[in-house]
Chain A
């Protein structure tokens, strides 16, 4: 298990990094936390001509989160997210999901930007960012653009990033006040069989700003827009939750793998969407 030969590039600025990416014409890979990339290199599942190590670029790990949301630098480690009081106060779902990511070593290295670029279909971070309505700011030699996460994630390990684009920050709108998160794993903090995240704000008797997302039931994390619409403005009655469960199942198309069969995933999706919504109705989860 030794990587095939590659060039190693260690830029000291974003400009240098995207220049290197452009020069390798789509054959370079960005090294951030390396928790997915390095094993894939060693198993020769990935054979880039160059690895662009962004770890020494200053200024990519700033957390600027307040009551109206804000931004998180792409190189921010999971353990930093996990420990941030601002994130716990204003993006509590993000704090919660980091505790389900890998182990301590993984969280000390893995980054939010790396996770979104990797687009693992059952990754917690893409799911949470989807539920929170986040977007990414990406930069290339030709400039910057902002991409909503639901447009970023195209499939397993597949994003709408151009090969010469680097995610520099993740932007969050004001988060709804309530969330619920459920995850099923085969063992402690393993890759998810399935996960459900939902956010909303209670307005009088009703719930608004409902965003329901799920992973493990499609080629990538999905936003269940019809289910969210079914619930918008309702009091999350049992009947409304049941309708949302069906609307979520309608957009799910899981496959079999060693973790679970497709059939079982659909069953789990029904159970966990219902339970997450019931918990949301009861005041939601806490960090």
Chain B
């Protein structure tokens, strides 16, 4: 749309350039350095005995036989851990919620299947696992709760009787206008109960930690697979009762995080406790069986939602009372918090209420995951909009276009106080529907094709909150981190810049994009920038990589630091070139020379070496060339777009294929268009997985996880994903540095609704309503069978 943005710096490596990822070369050569690649001298290995029940009293633990096994070094049980450490803190608490103490080992009651109960350290992981076999724990299973609906039944077992009077942790209400009155007065209302599945982030590298304590140095070095090294340091200091100066967290390559690797887990505390007492490195690498039970899960909510409209199709009100499953205990980020904020979506609705009922169950704690509540609200809203269209006999496209906020309506403050900053929402919907050939698809007959399949098209309009609207916003919610990022830029003698950040490198390409941002701001060739990530001993104390916020906040910090850095470099260059006015100079790739004309230049290497040596610099300048800056965004940027799915349904089996998927998306100014596409496609893969296949299933009687392995948790492979046609608009955000919006999560949001709407369009039977994710062939078949039983379809 607005194409101001492919401006090119002198170096040609700034904004809008699809530079290849600098991270890829080492990763593709097998030179990535993950925690499991570390083999410290004399390292010991930890294994963890976990609760096999959804909820159980730990009656007794007998470790005597295990202690006798050759190679076993130390065993810890809950009472010891409770003496030696504090409960794990919560980084992003649920507003208004009481604490649910979460020690690294269960003390008397284990609250979920997979909760650590005993930890063993031995000379090898195999020996440690052999020792687990020899430990005799007597569990007394306690009544459990498997879902948020039964959790609130009057006769439900009370899961945390010491802290909670019911299984509801807290209720957060947000309301504007008179939604109930408006719904009552509406010509049509669509209402239903929607179920959103429990899924898991499933990074290919699970969690991993190596902890080493050097008593004489009073230093605990923790090598950790995390998105947030500085927050890990903070939480470890609190849990271990150490000062932060005694802890250094190092994070090298991270094999994916997706929100699941924010903050610490029990095993991190355990590895550190063992290392502190044994004085030897302790290594723990999560295996996949552990991952499915002890790493945080995501989503799972039940929504009672309504949308009303006038007879001419104007939306009158929206309500959504939803119970989110927190799982058994708080995790660092708890249950997702963006459902309410984004429920109104890109629509002009004045009367709206969201009621968030945070509920505890006897399942693995829920944590952050790409999307963080936004796929849920999108699914509920967009499916209800299609039902309104059906009731009114309106085309779903027309109905959306009628109700979308127009560019002149923005900025728009919604019922939660969130401010949608800018964009042309309808333009994305028109682009998506034109690309997919919407009118022709809708005009085509509803009958089966030659292959017996029925085709349909479905739409989904979406917004995504990217970044945090200031530290004040976070403070109001009790969050234990700020909205800022900080970077340090430091010249080196070779003419390069070391960019030092606490952001770790987990696939989001920050090493590449930070270099591009610096190139954009300073004119320095991105190839001269070396990004150093994830060392709390070296980097400014930052927030970390999550919430689609890193590029936004880091862009500001890089801009501020870059301007300071380059200003000094130009002053020194002017001195060396004997030019009076440094502002007449500019960086041009690898040299500094006249901004607007030919003339003498000086290599950056000479300027930087002079500054570092401190000899021959202007008398008014201090030696060295280094700048550190922090930047805190004052508002969140809302990314947005529209998607259109075309499906072909086998009406006999319910099987369906997604024949086309068009997504139009706006992330403001793209730093690197290729990486934007990579981010969107990667998130779409997870969005399709959650919409179509993935679901953590629990046995309702035993409360145990039924599919805790890659064998039967159906994460999609490349062969399962539809081809995606990705288009972009580029409306710069007025509230962020350089006009960027975050891009990390948006692909997770639209697939569920677009696909469900397309399937319902294909089946074109008003009795068929799909209200549950994932939408599987069996679910479609059941909906068809139910409609047939009601006499709707022959």
Binding site for B on A (CB under 8 A): 1-5, 43-44, 184, 186-191, 257-261, 264, 267-268, 271
Contact = CB atoms under 8 A, between A and B. Distances in A.
B778 interface: yes
A195 to B, nearest CB: 14
B130 A5 contact: yes
Contacts of A257: 712
B651 to A, nearest CB: 11
Contact of B778 (A2, A3, A260): A260
A191 B714 CA distance: 11
B781 interface: yes
A258 B653 contact: no
Contacts of B129: 1-2, 4, 44
A4 B711 contact: no
Interface stretch (B108-116, B219-227, B716-724, B763-771): B716-724
Contact of B712 (A5, A259, A271): A259
Given A188-B717, A188-B719, 11 more contacts: A2-B126, A44-B129, A184-B653, A187-B717, A257-B712, A258-B706, A258-B707, A258-B712, A260-B778, A264-B781, A271-B652
A188 B720 contact: yes
B430 interface: no
A233 B227 CA distance: 67
23 contacts: A1-B287, A2-B125, A2-B126, A4-B129, A4-B133, A5-B130, A43-B289, A44-B133, A186-B714, A186-B776, A187-B716, A187-B717, A188-B717, A188-B720, A191-B712, A257-B712, A258-B706, A258-B712, A260-B778, A261-B778, A264-B778, A264-B781, A271-B653
A186 B717 contact: no
The 8 tightest CB contacts between A and B, nearest first, are A188-B719, A2-B126, A1-B287, A258-B707, A264-B778, A187-B720, A258-B712, A2-B129
B697 interface: yes
A5 B287 CA distance: 18
Contacts of A2: 124-126, 129
Contacts of A268: 653
A100 to B, nearest CB: 12
Contacts of A187: 693, 714, 716-717, 719-720
Contacts of B130: 4-5
**A2, A188, A267 — which one has the most chain B CB atoms within 10 A of its CB?**
A2
B160 interface: no
A190 B287 CA distance: 21
Contacts of B652: 271
A257 B126 CA distance: 32
B409 to A, nearest CB: 42
Contacts of B782: 264
B289 A1 contact: yes
A43 B778 CA distance: 31
Contacts of B289: 1, 43
B772 interface: no
Contacts, number: 51
B702 to A, nearest CB: 14
**B124, B716, B781 — which one has the most chain A CB atoms within 10 A of its CB?**
B781
Contacts of B719: 187-189
A240 B395 CA distance: 46
Contacts of B707: 258
Instruction: Tell me what chain A mostly uses at the interface: helix, strand, loop, or mixed.
Output: loop
A3 to B, nearest CB: 7
Interface string B148-179: 00000000000000000000000000000000
A2 B126 CA distance: 5
A257 B778 CA distance: 12
A268 to B, nearest CB: 6
Contacts of B720: 187-188
Contacts of A189: 719
A106 to B, nearest CB: 12
Contacts of B776: 186
B288 interface: yes
A259 B124 CA distance: 37
A258 B287 CA distance: 22
Nearest to B711: A191
Contacts of B124: 2
A257 B714 CA distance: 13
Nearest to A275: B652
Contacts of A260: 778
**A3, A186, A190 — which one has the most chain B CB atoms within 10 A of its CB?**
A186
Interface string B277-312: 000000000011100000000000000000000000
A271 B428 CA distance: 41
A259 B697 CA distance: 11
A268 B785 CA distance: 13
Nearest to B710: A39
Contacts of B126: 2-3, 5
A3 B126 CA distance: 7
A149 B653 CA distance: 31
B714 A190 contact: yes
A186 B717 CA distance: 11
A102 to B, nearest CB: 11
Contacts of A4: 129-130, 133
Nearest to B712: A258
B327 to A, nearest CB: 20
Interface string B668-695: 0000000000000000000000000100
**B130, B287, B776, B778 — which one has the most chain A CB atoms within 10 A of its CB?**
B778
Contacts of B288: 1
A190 B714 CA distance: 9
Contacts of A43: 289
Nearest to A43: B289
A264 B714 CA distance: 18
B487 to A, nearest CB: 39
Nearest to A39: B711
B697 A258 contact: yes
Contact of A267 (B133, B717, B781): B781
A189 B287 CA distance: 24
A185 to B, nearest CB: 10
Contacts of A191: 711-712
A260 B782 CA distance: 12
A23 B129 CA distance: 28
A150 to B, nearest CB: 27
